[in-house]
Amino acid sequence: MIPNLSTKAMLVGLAIRGWQARKYDRKISIEVAEQHAATPDAGRFNKHLLPGSAESYEAVHKKGRELRAFHYENTLPWSKEGQRILPAANFEDFSEGVRRFKREYAMLVEEFLREYPILKEDARVLLNGMFNELDYPAVEDMRTRFSIELETLPLPAAEDFRVALANEEVARIQRDIEKRLQDEFANANRDLWNRLRHAVDNMVVRLSNPEGRFHDTLVSNLQSIVELIPKLNFTGDRNLEQIGATCAEALAVHEPQALRDDAILRARVAAQAKEISSIMDAYMS
């Protein structure tokens, strides 16, 4: 294991909670089954508790999805428990980003709560006989249904295992822990490589076709990744740093419109992207 990695990164877990405006209606489900001579468990009827035009409600959940995407972009995979690796080099930017999202999320929740009584009355009309007052929490209770929580934990280390067992058992368990840590760090490193490879290969495909259209994100996505590599590469992979720097200098430096307007530049960048992709093969095999 690379020494002192526990001083270079931490684990973070993100929990985004929000009220789901859907409700299973057992009574209606049974009625539908009976109308079609089906068994009671043939299906489940879920009511939409708010009108489809509830933009304030949708805005809250959209902001939550944006935060989750930001969380995944700025961290690396760790385990199946939902925790992810946050390198110390990216802690400040990540923390500021989460604080900004939490402020925006809280503001959108308040906007929804102001509209909530009106939306509820609209739903009373739309649902008619399926409306149930008990499906709708009071405003203050509803506010508690929305939250964002971030848990920060230290990276584990094999030497931290000091349970009072026979020495040979402790050594064996420490080896198992060390092996798992190595696997987790390798997976995190591979995730960074895959992000970069995907952006480079996408550029090869899009730019190799002289008539093909592409969005500005073709370049901006690559720019974001090469900017993140120094912050996320906590294992100090020099090959990754070098390839990232090459991508920044050769590919991410061009304006999207220039690539559309200049056929010669477009072909040259496509060839460079293809060459870089081939070089990456050696490091990712």
Cα angle for residues 172, 86, 188 (degrees, 5° grid): 60
Rounded to whole angstroms, how far apart are CA atoms 177 and 171?
A: 10
Contact (CB, 8 A) for 54 and 159:
no
The confidence score (pLDDT) of residue 59 equals 97
For helices 167-208 and 263-284, angle between their N-to-C axes, nearest 10 degrees = 160
Provide block-wise average pLDDT over 10 residues at a time, the chain (285 residues).
70 94 72 67 76 93 97 91 90 96 98 97 91 94 96 75 53 66 86 96 96 95 97 94 97 96 96 96 85
Alpha-carbon Rg of the chain, whole angstroms?
26
Rounded to whole angstroms, how far apart are CA atoms 242 and 196?
A: 12
φ/ψ (deg, to 5) at 75: -135, 175
In angstroms, how far apart are the furthest CA atoms of the chain?
71
The confidence score (pLDDT) of residue 173 equals 56
The confidence score (pLDDT) of residue 38 equals 64
Sheet holding 9-17, edge to edge: 76-77, 84-87, 9-17, 147-154
Rounded to whole angstroms, how far apart are CA atoms 89 and 93?
A: 9
Q: What six digits make up the tokens of 56?
A: 């304030």
The confidence score (pLDDT) of residue 110 equals 98
